[in-house]
Structure 1
């Protein structure tokens, strides 16, 4: 028997820091009249008084999954995810030299139908929760490698904010054959 959430298509909006993930996620949710899953780590990290610890990374992984699971039943055909827990893997690899085992175990299990990889062609916007303005190209390469390793369906979304929104909508419509 098919669960009603089984028909929901999941779109992950991912990429390096300051590439418009939250903006495009909100725009896409509005356009497709559905819900979007905010980036759990933004809320979590805003309450920290120091740098993220190993345990913080695990907490952000669990929090992102819980938030996604909570919002999935509220979605209207598409669930837009402002990033995914793969970010925990990428950050942990960079900061700690390895990723939590829970994250590695969940990676092949948690399916997203389409990833929109936000390009680094937008100007950097300072934010107290952003750390690596000089490593955007590096992280863009890492994101591509991670998505390729998952054999994920992904498309790089480039352009100014208006063009980026149009490119994202066109990509989604084409991928899911939406007219």
Structure 2
């Protein structure tokens, strides 16, 4: 709850493996709570790449996500919904390159969120040119659990499809809000 005390803004991160509905639920939650949401910076960045992602690209995505979040935080109304976080850069860098940029590792412990909603892999895989690992969803869900635990993050696994998934996320956020008021 350090973020809340420092800024008065409640930061909620929507995280998880590929094709788990993060962007969809981020937008739905922002609408429900009448606030803004921070889209995944890497998606737009990767759409413009003409070659495989490099180490420098990962650093650029890390910096871009932080800048976009800071820009949109100023427009948020009490709650900021973030579609992914800089932890994603660590997870992808570790997987693709075997390690993470030091700049990312240094920032992770100091750039936390008040609540993380970890999206379960119970939705069907949706093909997308920017998605790479349909057979590794279970692996990456385990990685997400490990990363969040290592940060001592306050997180909940969100399951269900369509409206149930949204209802579960709202219930989790509402319970969290009651607990801090």
Q: Aligning the two structures, in what range does the TM-score lie when normalised by the shorter sequence?
A: over 0.9
Deviating beyond 4 angstroms after TM superposition, the runs of 4 or more aligned structure 1 residues are none
User: Partners in 1 of 2:149 and 2:109 — Cα distance?
Assistant: 12
- What does residue range 49-64 of structure 1 map to in structure 2 within 5 Å? 49-64=50-65
Aligned partner of 1:9 in structure 2 is 10
- 1:141-171, Cα deviation, whole Å (9 max, x unpaired): 0000000000000000000111000000000
Q: How many residues align?
A: 177
Give 5+ residue unaligned stretches, structure 1: none
User: Partners in 2 of 1:106 and 1:162 — Cα distance?
Assistant: 35
User: Partners in 2 of 1:161 and 1:109 — Cα distance?
Assistant: 33
1:5 Cα deviation after fit: 7.5
- 1:76-124, Cα deviation, whole Å (9 max, x unpaired): 0100000001000000000000000010000011020000000000000
Query: What SS does structure 2 have at the residue aligned with 1:74?
Result: coil
Q: Given the alignment of the two structures, is residue 94 of structure 1 paired with residue 87 of structure 2, yes or no?
A: no
1:175 Cα deviation after fit: 0.9
1:4 Cα deviation after fit: 10
User: Partners in 1 of 2:91 and 2:7 — Cα distance?
Assistant: 28
Query: What SS does structure 2 have at the residue aligned with 1:48?
Result: coil
CA-atom RMSD in angstroms? 1.5
User: Partners in 2 of 1:81 and 1:29 — Cα distance?
Assistant: 9
Query: What SS does structure 2 have at the residue aligned with 1:111?
Result: coil
1:50 Cα deviation after fit: 1.7
Structure 2 vs 1, CA of residues 171 and 100 (structure 1 numbering), >3 Å: closer, same or farther? same
Aligned partner of 2:172 in structure 1 is 171
User: Partners in 1 of 2:52 and 2:139 — Cα distance?
Assistant: 21
TM-score normalised by structure 1 residue count: 0.96
Whether the 8 Å CA contact 1:116–1:156 is kept in 2: the answer is yes
User: Partners in 1 of 2:113 and 2:176 — Cα distance?
Assistant: 13
Give 5+ residue unaligned stretches, structure 2: none
Query: What SS does structure 1 have at the residue aligned with 2:14?
Result: strand
TM-score normalised by structure 2 residue count: 0.95
